[in-house]
Every structure is written in structure tokens, then in C-alpha cells.
Amino acid sequence: MTQAVPVHFVGRTGAPGPQASGSSVRRVATTTLGCKVNQFETEAIRQALQGARYELVPFDSPADLYLVNTCTVTQEADRQARQLVRRALRRNPEAFMVVAGCYAQRDPEAVATIPWVDLVLGNGEKTDVHGLIPDLEAGRLPQVLVGEPSDATAVPEGLLARFDSRTRGFLQVQQGCDQHCTFCVIASVRGGSRSVPVRHAVRQVDRWAALGMREFVVTGVDVGSYGADLEGGPDLAGLMAALAEREGDFRLRLSSLDPSQISDDLIALFRREPRLCPHVHLSLQHGDARVLKQMKRRYGPDLVRERVARLREAAPGLVLSADVLVGFATETEAAFERAMALVEELEIAYPHVFPFSPRPQTPGGRIPERKQVPVPERKARAARMRELGEALRERVLDRAVGRPHELLAEAPDRHSPGWVQGRAANYLPIRVPAGWAEPGERLAVTPERAESGVLVAGS
């Protein structure tokens, strides 16, 4: 556990800090980097701040306190967090700066050295920020409050109201990870896998459905492991079935799934449950058997092919997205080509491609640099994989033209005045004339064309 070292807060110009100056925090701005779990947790933080009577303002506005909820999957994520801190303090150099989340959990000392960071909060502490602000103002807190990740609760307590989108909510049902893949630092910053009791997830869905929200994205750090720690409780398929039985006009979407966790029961649920969206985001990572083994993934390409084939048979019109890591330390050109071939074979329309970023505290991060794929080659391979993804996405969109889809209208299209944009159940984006639907409404549409990565219905 990182030891929290008390510090004396000093004003930006070296004058006495907030306690002496009598200043007080009223406006708070938050921003999020990373995964859907982080987005859920930021929303919990925001609603707790509102409950404590703080005013929430956009992150690009002047505020009295800024909070950055960070990711640390890659070095780029760490860099983006530091950049956001600097950008916020240019708007108000006198503001308090709080950095929380996975980067803060992994390397609190480094985060604490970022100029003018007042408070560093780990994953187990960040949801208490609303109660910490008075002590922060008074200078009574240490700069670093980071405990062991296993000490964190499974999810923030209490039920959340609407998300900002007012149509879609991220429902966190699981926390932590037991896999310890050789390239990934997340298990060390999130702790072991813990599941939310079914009754809590059901109550959250009931609340959101009563408020008129139309889509719930069931998410977790390793959501496919749901239920393994609940004695006598259901697995992920059982949880999804329980949620689908609730009253209301809504649909359910699953977030990232390890291919080995796509069970027969889950496939059967895709077959029979109309509320379950025909879209799966695979935590694929690679397509070469040797690289997957060296990553300590629990599957090979053949299992992925078999599970996806079963899913497509059960859910016609299924669209796939996936995490794809390129340039892992042991990846040869031939191994990369096999990964490209599998992505094309599976027709992954939305690959989330990222080049390997050696992370401290992981076996992959300890491989000598001379044995790793050179950084320029990693970037080149990532570009090639993204180009393939664009071609596959265009193919999937073209095939969707002229076929009926259920659109959930979300918001006015910022790039096309007079139009509303949303997503089909299978995740494809669709744009329709503004008069066709209000945000939050669902309607059947038949796209007439695809342009710039979006299906279009209406002239």
C-alpha cells in the first residue's frame, strides 16, 4: 500500500492556502478517460457531488475544483491525463486539482509530482471525493490517498439517476480481474473480481426504466466472470436473463467479453431474448495462437471462431467490435498477419486498435527493449489494422442498407443540423431527419444509404 504523506497546501502564488484565504469550492468539473466502468464511476461521483450541493460545470469551463478520472492501460492514457490537468489549470490556476482512478492507483507518486495536483485518489477512495472537499480546502488531507485495490468496494453504493445522455446508462455489475494477462496492469489497480448482487442490478434497471431510459449497457472490468464469487448466485447469462424480465421499454447491451466466457447459456439467451442487442464487443487482443498463449489469454483462434459462429447463428445481424493489441513483444510479422486474417474472417467492424505499450509491474513490461517490436513498427501495424477495420466497417454498413433496423434516437447530430443520430440494436450508427424522432424514442427505419460511416434514412 502506498503511504499517504501529509503535505501543506500552498496557494498558487505562494500565498496562504484556501483555509487562510476563506475561499470555498462551489463549481466542480469532471472528466473521464478510459472504459465504461470509469464512466459509470464518474457518474456516481457527479451525482454524489450534486447531492452534496456542489454545482457541476463542463470540464472546459472555469471551476473551483477539477477532477480527472484516469485510465492507465497505455502510456498514452497516462500522457492524456497529465495533459488534461495542465489544460484545466490554464482555465483557472487557483482551482483545486484532483486526479483519481487507475493511473493514480498504479503510480501515485508520479501523479503527485504533476505541478499543482492537490489530491491523488485511488479507485477505492475516489467516490468519496464529495466528502473530502471540506478537508481539502482546510488543508487537513495528505496529498495521496491510495489504498490497496482489493479494499475497494465492488461498485459505488446507491442507485444512480439518469446519465447525461438520458437514453443510455452504463450498468456496472462487476469489478476487478483475476486473469493477470502478461500485457495488462488492470488487475493490479482494480483488485480481484467482485460481483454486484443481482438484486442491486435489478433495482438499478427498475429505476432507470421508470425514468424513461431506453438502453442499459451491462459492464465490468471483466464482466464475463460475473457471479464466480457469488455463492449459489447466477452467472452472467443468469444475470442478463433476470434483467431482461423487468418491466419497461428498454434494451440490454453487453460490453467487453472474453471469448472464453461466451457460454452456451449466453448464446441461448441471444437466441431467445429480443431485448438483448445483437452486438458483442470481444476482448480479442490477438489472432495468433502463440501470441495469445504468451499473453496468458485463455483461448486460441479456433475457440474464437467457434464461439462467434454460434453467436451469429443465434443472433442474425450480429455486429462485432473488439479490442485488438498489435506489436506485442513476441509478435512477428507472420503472427501479425494471422491476427489481421482473423479480424477479417470474423468481420470485426469496429476494432479498437492500440499498439503494445509496456506497462510496469507486468511480465510484458519487463521484456528487454531490444527484444521488443520497434515502436515505429508497432505504429505501422496499428495503422494497417485500423485500415482493415475501416474496410470491414464499410462492408457491414453497405450490407445494412435497405434492411430494417430498430433505431434508438439519442441526440441532434452535431455535424448535420436538422438531423438526429442514434444507434441500431446491432450498434450501427443511423441518422434520420429531426422530425422523425425525439431523443429517447425508438422507431423502425430502413436506411437508404451509408455515408461517412453512418447509415442514413430519409432524404
Query: What confidence tens digit (pLDDT) does each residue in 113-131 have?
Result: 999 999 999 998 998 999 9
What DSSP character marks residue 5? -
Instruction: Return the half-sphere exposure (C-beta side, CA atoms, 13 A cut-off) of residue 399.
Output: 13
- Compute the C-alpha angle 84/15/92, nearest 5°: 25
Q: Which residues of 176-200 are buried (b: 16+ CB within 10 A; e: fewer)?
A: bbebebbbbbbbbbbbebbbbebeb
Sheet holding 319-326, edge to edge: 279-285, 319-326, 348-355
- Residues near 120 by beta carbon (within 8 Å), at least 6 away in sequence: 98, 99, 100, 104, 108, 111, 112, 143, 144, 145, 146
In this predicted model, what pLDDT tens digit does every residue of 49-89 receive, in sequence order? 998 999 999 999 999 999 999 999 888 999 999 999 999 98
pLDDT tier at 232 (50, 70, 90 boundaries)?
A: confident
In this predicted model, what pLDDT tens digit does every residue of 239-277 receive, in sequence order? 999 999 999 999 999 999 999 999 999 999 999 999 999
Phi-psi sector, 345: left (phi>0), alpha (psi -120 to 50), beta: alpha
In this predicted model, what pLDDT tens digit does every residue of 155-210 receive, in sequence order? 666 667 766 667 888 899 998 999 889 998 888 888 889 899 999 999 999 999 99
Q: What is the pTM of this model?
A: 0.86
Residue 283 has pLDDT above 50, yes or no: yes
pLDDT at 156: 61
Place of cell 435497405: 402
Instruction: Return the half-sphere exposure (C-beta side, CA atoms, 13 A cut-off) of residue 437.
Output: 25
DSSP string, 386-446: HHHHHHHHHHHHHHHTTS-EEEEEEEE-TTSTTEEEEEETTS-EEEEEGGG--TT-EEEE-
pLDDT at 233: 85
- Determine contact, residues 190/176, Cβ cutoff 8 Å: yes
The whole-chain average pLDDT of the chain stands at: 89
